Amino acid sequence: MTDITKDAIAPPRSFLSQDAIQVFYRLLAALLICAVLAVLSDSFLSLGNILNVLRQASLTFFIASGLTLVVLTAGLDLSVGANVALSACIAGTVIHKTGSPALGILTGLACGGIVGLLNGVMVTALRIPSFIATYGMLWVLNGLTYWYMAGETLHGFPAGFRQIGSGYLFGLPIPVYLLLVFLGIGTLFAQRTIWGQEIYAIGANPIAARLSGIPVARRLLLVYAVSGTMAGLASIIFLSRLNSAEADIGESLTLPAIAAVLIGGTSLFGGVGTVFGTFIGALILTLVLNGMNLLSVSANWQPLVTGIIVILAVWLDMKTRRRAQ
């Protein structure tokens, strides 16, 4: 039993090397995109635009970082965007009713975490495939949010609360500092803790992980709860940034988050990927969309481009996996 446990928990060296190589190539891709955009647009390298790119990438990263843990277990969470919308609307209501941003933040995080935990219960206790469970949850959350808001829009939050998403500290947007904090926490958790290694083991071989004594169900509950909580955190950032909340706030957030995870090298088949890679993926996606804006490409083309990038990322993942096997 001891040997099996070691084999299940210890990440295969080839997978770690594969992760490092994938992150390296994606960093090169990000630099190449920067070089091309710097040539095509005079305003790309302006300080204001660079800070805007970092802020937008951080917003995508908050959702995608929790989603990365789910995908590492070979699962998927399609409800993150709807979770952001419901959490933002409830948190905004609490702030309006109580006048306390702190209570609103705690409520938003709790709402996001509870939704994630419910997703985990459906996947582990009811044994519903994650794609189906979270897709159903997406529609449940959309229905609840539209019913709760009833066409209303919340706006006008305290100036101190708005600093979270719109403020600067030493010249950098505050969301960038939050990104660095959660990037460090996520990387250390996934790469340096037993729980993180168990998540990799579940994604690489769930049967071996279960036989080795890893509490698979509890770890899955954990990753879905973390994914939901990070969606709750993103809802606070969006609420603060936009200074408003309405029912459709999360409709356009799910696909970019999934795209960031896949572009960052996390495999849909589980067991391969890093939180840092997801950050690079969010940065690449933001650079592409920012470049389209700078070059005056119609916004109608952005979903098409994002979809194509997702398809290419999945194709590369499948090709890389076949080569590794």
- The pLDDT tens digits for 162-184 are 999 999 999 999 999 999 999 99
Has residue 93 been placed in a domain? yes
Decide if pLDDT at 200 tops 90: yes
Has residue 17 been placed in a domain? no
Decide if pLDDT at 66 tops 50: yes
**Residues in CB range of 277: below 8 A, 6 or more apart:** 19, 22, 23, 26, 264, 265, 266
pLDDT at 133: 97
Smallest CA-to-CA distance from 93 within 58, 136, 140, 144 is with 144
Has residue 25 been placed in a domain? no
Half-sphere exposure for 187 (CA within 13 Å, toward CB): 13
Query: What residues make up the domain containing 301?
Result: 42-323
Decide if pLDDT at 17 tops 50: yes
The answer to which of 15-19, 61-65, 226-230 has the lowest mean pLDDT is: 15-19
**What integer best gives the mean pLDDT of the chain?**
90
Decide if pLDDT at 14 tops 60: no
Query: Can you name the residues that pair with 134 across neighbouring β-strands?
Result: none
Into how many domains does the chain fold?
1
Has residue 33 been placed in a domain? no
pLDDT at 13: 43
* Strand ranges inside 141-224, DSSP E: 154-155, 168-169, 172-173
Has residue 14 been placed in a domain? no
How many C-beta atoms lie closer than 10 Å to residue 50's C-beta? 13
Give the Å distances, CA to CA, from 40 to 26, 36, 43, 44, 267. Answer: 21, 6, 9, 8, 33
Q: Mean of the pLDDT values across residues 198-222?
A: 93
Using DSSP's 3-state secondary structure scheme, residue 43 falls into coil
Decide if pLDDT at 284 tops 90: yes
Question: Taking each helix axis from N to C terminus, what angle separates 101-124 and 130-149, rounded to the nearest 10 degrees?
Answer: 140
CA 101, distance to chain mean position in Å, is: 24
Has residue 211 been placed in a domain? yes
Has residue 34 been placed in a domain? no
Q: What percent of the chain has pLDDT over 70?
A: 94
Length of the chain: 325
pLDDT at 310: 82
How many C-beta atoms lie closer than 10 Å to residue 89's C-beta? 27
User: What are phi and psi for residue 168, nearest 5 degrees?
Assistant: -125, 150
**Residues in CB range of 20: below 8 A, 6 or more apart:** none
Pairing of strands 244-245, 154-155: antiparallel
Has residue 77 been placed in a domain? yes
Alpha-carbon gap, residue 285 to 57, rounded angstroms: 8
Decide if pLDDT at 229 tops 50: yes
The pTM for the full model equals: 0.89
Decide if pLDDT at 249 tops 90: no
CATH number of the domain to which 246 belongs:
1.10.3470
Contact between residue 239 and residue 157 where contact means Cβ atoms under 8 Å apart: yes
Decide if pLDDT at 30 tops 50: yes
Q: Mean of the pLDDT values across residues 7-18?
A: 51
Using DSSP's 3-state secondary structure scheme, residue 172 falls into strand
Decide if pLDDT at 12 tops 60: no
Dihedral sign for Cα atoms in the order 65, 252, 174, 283 = positive
